[in-house]
Amino acid sequence: MAAPLYIGKMNPNHWPVNDWISLSRFLERYFMNDGSYKPTVPWLAESLTYESPTVAIMKLRKGVTHHDGSPFNAASVKYVMEWIGDKKNKAWTRGGISPVKSIEVVDDLTLRWTLKFAWGGFEGMLSTASGFALSAAALQKDAAGFDKLPVGTGAYMFEEASPGNFLKLKRNPNWWFAKASGNPDMPYFDGIIVHVIPDAQVRLANLRAGKLDGLALSKSQYALVKNDPNLKVYNYPRNRLAGLRFNTTKGVLVLHPGVHPHHHVFKNRLDWFCFS
């Protein structure tokens, strides 16, 4: 595989993360988005029900372990969320979980979330950056080191990296989904290497030469390869949210009249992926 930038930080709560696709190969979220881009697909979470508009019960999936062998359980989830919310850890996602008032461990696989108000974005939060499950044991051992040595539950595990050059992942032989789905051989590849190649033309040339197995295409490249019989090209629509986030820690932000501080712009995006 190839990417234009090195992945950067591998703790999704620290910035920058330049390659979310690669990150999602070794870290997994509590919920996934469905075909309508709604966070309705339970993944590491098994279910989410509401006792009231501000109290939710989350059941976790049984039989999941982190790459370091530590258990994925309610205590681990609670620790990670509280770690995100602790200002000293400098998580850029801290504001995104601010509507959470408290998290209570009910039993080994059950949490009770109490919200400050009825929050329509709660389930969305569990499927975005702050919704990635991290090993609490790894964070406790070396939180700063997690940026370079991530420990999750995903299909692949971190093996080696050279910033600016490559990221190397190896197969997770104990991936919970392989067992749960009845496909014990998953994931099917022994590993994945993501080469950092900034130039889009060089990336495409390497794909055509058989040096790469796949890559994401730019809009201009799609027209060049869509009819190439030697390549398999896939495209799908994707929503993308862009927003302005203002740092008000050093004073009050003054905006010109008519500019709303939370104005967000939605754009439709079409992504193309190509495989040799």
Give the domains, in start order, of the chain with CATH numbers. Answer: 2-198 (3.40.190.10), 220-276 (no CATH)
State both tokens at 164: 């600016």
Using the predicted structure, report yes or no on whether residue 261 has a pLDDT greater than 60: no
Residues with Cβ < 8 Å from 187, sequence gap 6 or more? 155, 156, 171, 172, 175, 178
Residue 234 pLDDT: 87
Q: How confident is the model at residue 257 (pLDDT cuts 50, 70, 90)?
A: low
Measure the CA–CA gap between 216 and 228, rounded to whole angstroms. Answer: 16
Buried b / exposed e over 18-30, threshold 16 CB at 10 Å, is ebeebbbbbbbbb
Q: Are 24 and 217 in contact (CB under 8 A)?
A: no
First to last CA, the chain: 10
Q: For 37-62, how does the pLDDT look when each residue is reduced to its tens digit (9 = 90+)?
A: 788 999 999 999 999 999 999 999 99
Task: State the pairing for strand pair 264-275/214-217.
Answer: antiparallel
CB distance 83 to 36 below 8 Å: no
Q: How far is CA 222 from CA 20, 151, 194, 227, 271, in A?
A: 21, 35, 21, 9, 9
pTM: 0.86
> Tokens 């997770």 appear where?
172
pLDDT of residue 220: 84
Helix (H, G, I), strand (E, B) or coil at 47: strand
**What average pLDDT score do residues 90-95 get?**
95
**Is 269 a residue whose pLDDT tops 50?**
no
Q: Does the pLDDT value for residue 263 go beyond 50?
A: no
CA distance 139 to 145: 8
C-alpha radius of gyration, the chain, whole number: 20
Percent of the chain with pLDDT over 90: 78
**Is the omega angle on the peptide bond into residue 237 within 30 degrees of 0, that is, cis?**
no
Question: Are the beta carbons of 138 and 34 closer than 8 angstroms?
Answer: no
In angstroms, the CA 185 to CA 174 distance is 10
